[in-house]
Amino acid sequence: MSVRFRPELSAIPNYQAGKRPLPRLDDVTAFKVSSNENPYPPLPRVQRVIAEAAQHVNRYPDPASVELRAAIADHVALTPDQIAVATGAVALCYQCAHATAGPGDEVVFAWRSFEAYPILTSVSGAKPVPVPLLSDGTHDLPAMARAVTERTRLIFVCSPNNPTGTTVTAAEFTDFVDAVPDDVLIVLDEAYIEFSEAEDAPSAIEVVNQHANVVVLRTFSKAYGLAGLRVGYAIAAVDVIDALNSTALPFGVSSVAQSAAIASIADHQELTERVGELIARRARLTQSLQNAQVPVTASQANFVWLPLGSATAAFVVECERAGLTVRGFVDEGARVTIAEPEANERLVAVAADFVAQWSTGVAEIDRKPM
């Protein structure tokens, strides 16, 4: 007899992490540009703080992350009781589901978006309700509002959206929140917000101060370059934060991660300069791809989205051959992280060649709407 697992689990696709062994190529450096990691190692001062904190790991971490929550609160101009921290924003996504949704409930999200949403919804026992993106890769917020039923308990809005890089505007988001019953929790997932230059973005602080049912998620994994340490945070009204804390794994955020995150906030200025450099690379990369007739959306995140439709799988293979591990979604498109200049330049070369050779050219690429 085998173990009787919950039936929901059999419906869950295996999480397709970007991490795959890099191809062995004799003459070129391979780059993993599939997981939206920051190409810069931690700042030297943050590395020293990590080494120092490592000397005390015989002790449990502060379970309430008091200092870190105070530092974040200071940084976003809110109070520590409006902040929860966890092992990455993805853990907070799970906690939002555990706190609100179970069997018989529904969780609404745009699709395609962050791959964890349907998985964590199924794990909670609730039903995933994916709402297709518009053909330009943006959220169809009116359609998402219409998808809400009396069973809906949780909604994910991802801005900038992974993998299309598109954002929602403050006005659209306000209309959306107004259209949704205020006992439904709305997650605004801002994992990439530091890379966004959109001027009409919702203000997380205003949103949280005005709406008791909105939680904003952020992470130290992407802009702050601490993906390997696992730390992210939620900002929301106090009772939402309390519910998230009730569903947290005890002692989840390690003392090393807490110290590194505090040091990173202190070195915010230097990190912002790095983010600025990545934004400049994104602009150059997007322009070069456009010049080469490669389909690409205007991204506000640290990756670009190439809506290659049915050509995607072949493109991923071409990239692999050239030493670039990209994230392909079969028949939809490829997501490629902004990385070292050499990696970005190689992407342009591979994509330009690919598009020129694919059948009779770019017109033959079946550009399905996302």
Ligand X SMILES: *Cc1c(COP(=O)(O)O)cnc(C)c1O
Applying CB under 6 A, which residues contact ligand X? 36, 88-90, 114, 158, 162, 189, 191, 219, 221, 227, 232
Q: Report the interhelical angle of 255-266 vs 44-54 (nearest 10°).
A: 150
The type of residue at 241 is I
The nearest distance, CB 230 to ligand X, in angstroms, is 6
> Which amino acid is present at 131?
V
Closest approach of ligand X to the CB of residue 303, in Å: 9
In the complex, minimum distance from the CB of residue 87 to ligand X, in angstroms, rounded to a whole number: 7
Choice between 71 and 322, CB closer to ligand X: 71
- As measured in angstroms, the least distance from the Cβ of 27 to ligand X is 32
> CB-wise, 36 or 100, nearer to ligand X?
36
Nearest CB to ligand X, comparing residues 113 and 152: 113
SS3 readout for 156-201 = EEECCCCCCCCCCCHHHHHHHHHHCCCCCEEEEECCCHHHCCCCCC
CA distance 179 to 293: 40
Q: To 10 degrees, what angle do helices 66-76 and 255-266 make?
A: 30
Instruction: Identify which of residues 88 and 202 has a Cβ nearer to ligand X in the complex.
Output: 88
Residue where the block lists tokens 């295996």: 14
What tokens appear for 112 in the block? 């395609």
Nearest partner of 354 among 275, 294, 303, 269, judged by Cα: 294
Min dist. Cβ of residue 224 to ligand X (A): 10
Q: How far apart are CA 208 and CA 236, in angstroms?
A: 5
Give the nearest distance from C-beta 190 to ligand X in angstroms. Answer: 8
Toward ligand X, which CB reaches closer, 245 or 293?
245
Minimum CB separation from ligand X for residue 276, in Å?
Answer: 20
Whose structure tokens read 């205007």? 298
Nearest approach in angstroms of CB 35 to ligand X is 8
Residues 37 and 45: their CA atoms lie apart, in Å, by 20
Q: How far apart are CA 232 and CA 89, in angstroms?
A: 5
Is residue 140 a contact partner of residue 166, using CB atoms and an 8 Å limit?
A: no
Q: Minimum distance from CB of 235 to ligand X (Å)? A: 14
Of residues 350 and 370, the one with the C-beta less far from ligand X: 370
Complex with ligand X: residue 36 or 312, whichever CB lies closer: 36
**Smallest Cα–Cα separation from 85: which of 232, 264, 240, 256?**
232
- What six digits make up the tokens of 80? 């520590």
Give the Cα separation of 108 and 150 in Å (integer): 12
Q: Which residues, listed in sequence order, are joined to residue 218 by a DSSP beta bridge?
A: 233
Q: Which residue is nearest to ligand X, using beta carbons?
A: 88
The smaller minimum CB distance to ligand X, of residues 244 and 322, is found at: 244
* Count of all residues that appear for the chain in the document: 370
User: Cβ closer to ligand X: 229 or 240?
Assistant: 229
